[in-house]
Structure 1
Amino acid sequence: MTDSAPEPIAAVEPLPGLEPFAALPGAVLDERGLAHLGNPVREQRDLAAGRAIAPLADRAVLTVAGEDRLSWLDSITSQALTGLTPAQGTELLVLDPQGHVEHAASVVDDGERTWLIVDRSRAAALLLWLQRMRFRLRVDPQDVSGAYAVVGGTTDAVAAVTAAIVWRDPWPSISAGGWGYAAVDPHPGLERDWAEAVVPAAAFAELAAAAERGERSIAGGLAAEALRIAAWRPRAANEADGRTLPHEVDWLRTAVHLEKGCYRGQETVAKVHNLGHPPRRLVSLQLDGSDAELPVPGAAVRHAGSDVGTITSVARHHEEGPIALAIVKRTVPVDAALSVEVDGGEIAAAQEVVVPPDAGRAASVPRLPRLGSRR
């Protein structure tokens, strides 16, 4: 894919803490933060190669201090955390009683505090829930987003940043107690080296100053999102719609321990995995690139004239072109010709199976090669 002019984005006020980057030449903001600096395709290449870092203003940072923090988080979330070692990255889900995803958090512990990197739009609700779940335990959940910001990039790129802690994304490796549904070889997520650094506010401002002096390369959120979508990596702000089960988006890989003790929603998780199939499934879509129009999250996915799913994430990838993630009904044939709603019409979409229709412990799924891409 060749470099092209980015699509216009409506001007918005910078999110708190993003002001230093909003002042960079060419900076364009969207509702999540810094969208791009004039060339999102080049920014993707630089971000993937470790030549740039991305300020992630759509992330918030929570901490949990106290002697009981890991055992407490273990007891109320989907992940086994009692054996978590300092600097080891993992992630957890907070589920409702029916097993639907309410919150997700990237998790890393420094030996004294557990750091949670979460979607800013859901941080307040998650913090309130954690505070209500303390009971008499020695735990102290706090929102420290006013003192820290988050930047993302390759492991080496963020290692060069002054940080309080660094979380390395375990995706798509299957964590202890996890289970992978995607039946492709190799998994596209193996190409994505991703880490996120929790940076003190002063160091965050200095990163922007270094970028303005030409000493640091910066990429926008569009670049980070395109790399995530190409890796089939779910995010709560996109793929969790209030009805999402972890199985539907292959989140059992990294966020669920199937053999740990009881937690809210565990019964549904075990039942769907051991005895049934999730009612919906995540697919990757390669979109018709002959039209400049892209769908938006929430757009309908159609098969034979009927709505069968919804777009959750969409991007222009620097190698694959227009791509998207969508959640569709389990019964949609894996070879079905799909279309996606766009403003004023539809565009064709080639489906690539992420979660197969018969996903579950008992499923026998052959390893499949990836579809031909634009690479």
Structure 2
Amino acid sequence: MDPFLSREGVVSDDAGVISHAGNPVREQRQLEFGSAIAPRADRTAIRLTGAERKSWLDSITSQALTSLAPGDSTELLVLDPQGRVEHAAAVVDAGDELWLIADAGDAAPLVKWLTMMRFRADVQIEIPENVTVIGAMRGGAAADALVAAAVRAGDAPVVWSDPWPSVTAGGWQYAEVAEHPGAQFHWVEAVVADPAPLAELPIAGSLAVDALRVAAWRPRWAAEVDERTIPHEADWLRTAVHLNKGCYRGQETVAKVHNLGHPPRRLAMLHLDGSDSVLPEKGDVVFDGENEAGHITSAARHHELGPIALAVLSRRTPGDHELQVETDGSRIAAAQEIIVPADAGRTADIPKLTRLSRRKQVDPPA
């Protein structure tokens, strides 16, 4: 029996995902203060062992992994040959083991793909039973308790520190802001076998976690990814892509869009009109006047910002236009906060060559 689901006031779905524990606004504040934990039944842990685990995973994903040391954290993407996102996972080096944490809906497909790609590499892949993923904000008593309760591989606890607060080595940020809101998103997730020592801590549900994530502009596989997503559109090059590593599937598209082109869509945060109690849902259409501009990927009520959402918009949608979100047959006014600019990409400094047709004609000597 999950000790968190039996708490008074806890509301969860059939999969055991806790949406809230009675007061989502209070839970957000407790998470920010570092006093609450967030059980993540919507996240799944994957364990990799074997001598070639890091070099093999490095060769087939978007992230540089061979230099990881015990305790290091990062994240990776698995791309298709056209550079579209297929899978995403958090990565933590636990010494003799490498652990991935993926959204629950992506975990089994990710393991299946990794197993197909193993060939003769010395790597073993499994989804361990009887472990759970629990999150908290780093720097408080809740995170300290998670570290103490985490599964250990040797002396290293399996605790992932989200790299989102800063641009990682080999990464690139498209957001043109003096201070990125993700700089304060100090999220950690621990793999725990026995949650009993944590049972008395305040808990927060997915509504609170998502509100803080959306406010930090943090993309997630289960929300922001569809069949067309490339990493550039969500500013995911910040932490999940190493632009200077060796080749991997989809790398050509990553390089071409970043150096020579522009992503066809862009992620934006929307500040929604809060006069109505309706909150958009994933997939709701965003309009620029009467033209479809994109769709909602995540929506939440933030304890300070009010109703907010992440939306994937067409690159052609002007950044200064007021938008509307259609939900339940009505439209909600939405003001944009640009995350990925329309001119993102095309970073290569390629000199322009004088075209032959424009060269000055010189008369031949007499």
Aligned: 1:220 with 2:205: yes
Which whole-Å CA distance do the structure 2 matches of 1:362 and 1:155 have between them?
A: 34
Partner of 1:120: 104
Runs of 4+ in 1 over 4 A off after TM superposition: none
Aligned: 1:102 with 2:89: no
Name stretches of at least 5 consecutive residues in structure 2 with no aligned partner.
152-157, 350-366
Name stretches of at least 5 consecutive residues in structure 1 with no aligned partner.
1-16, 211-215, 365-375
**Shift in Å at residue 160 of structure 1?**
1.5
Partner of 2:355: none
Task: State the SS of the aligned residue for 1:124.
Answer: helix
Partner of 1:346: 331
Aligned: 1:155 with 2:133: no
CA displacement, residues 332-374 of structure 1 (integer Å, 9 cap, x when unaligned): 001011000111201000000000001015299xxxxxxxxxx
Aligned: 1:337 with 2:332: no
Partner of 1:207: 198
Q: TM-score normalized by structure 1?
A: 0.88
Partner of 1:173: 166
Q: 1:223 to 1:363 in 2, by over 3 A?
A: farther
Number of matched pairs? 338
What code does the residue aligned with 1:155 have?
Answer: R
CA displacement, residues 75-106 of structure 1 (integer Å, 9 cap, x when unaligned): 00000000011111100000001000000000
Q: Percent identity?
A: 60
What code does the residue aligned with 1:241 have?
Answer: D
- Please point out which of 299, 316, 321 is paired with 2:284: 299
Task: State the SS of the aligned residue for 2:31.
Answer: helix
1:190-269 pair list within 5 angstroms: 190-200=183-193, 203-208=194-199, 210=200, 216-269=201-254
Partner of 1:11: none
What code does the residue aligned with 2:192 have?
Answer: V
Aligned: 1:188 with 2:175: no
Which whole-Å CA distance do the structure 2 matches of 1:138 and 1:256 have between them?
A: 24
**Quick check: 70-79 or 19-28, which moved more?**
19-28
Which whole-Å CA distance do the structure 2 matches of 1:93 and 1:343 have between them?
A: 34
Task: State the SS of the aligned residue for 1:179.
Answer: coil
Does the CA-based 8 Å contact 1:173-1:253 persist in structure 2?
Answer: yes
Partner of 2:273: 288
Task: State the SS of the aligned residue for 1:340.
Answer: strand
Q: 1:267 to 1:31 in 2, by over 3 A?
A: farther
Partner of 1:65: 49
Q: 1:92 to 1:45 in 2, by over 3 A?
A: same
Aligned: 1:28 with 2:39: no
What code does the residue aligned with 2:177 have?
Answer: V
Which whole-Å CA distance do the structure 1 matches of 2:196 and 2:79 have between them?
A: 36
Partner of 1:271: 256
- The CA RMSD measured in Å over matched residues stands at 1.4
Partner of 1:51: 35
Which whole-Å CA distance do the structure 2 matches of 1:31 and 1:262 have between them?
A: 42
Please identify the structure whose Cα radius of gyration is greater.
2
Which whole-Å CA distance do the structure 2 matches of 1:361 and 1:328 have between them?
A: 19
Does the CA-based 8 Å contact 1:151-1:158 persist in structure 2?
Answer: no
**Shift in Å at residue 180 of structure 1?**
0.4
**Shift in Å at residue 206 of structure 1?**
4.2
What code does the residue aligned with 1:278 have?
Answer: P
Q: 1:277 to 1:172 in 2, by over 3 A?
A: farther
Which whole-Å CA distance do the structure 1 matches of 2:120 and 2:310 have between them?
A: 42
Does the CA-based 8 Å contact 1:180-1:252 persist in structure 2?
Answer: yes
**Shift in Å at residue 321 of structure 1?**
0.3
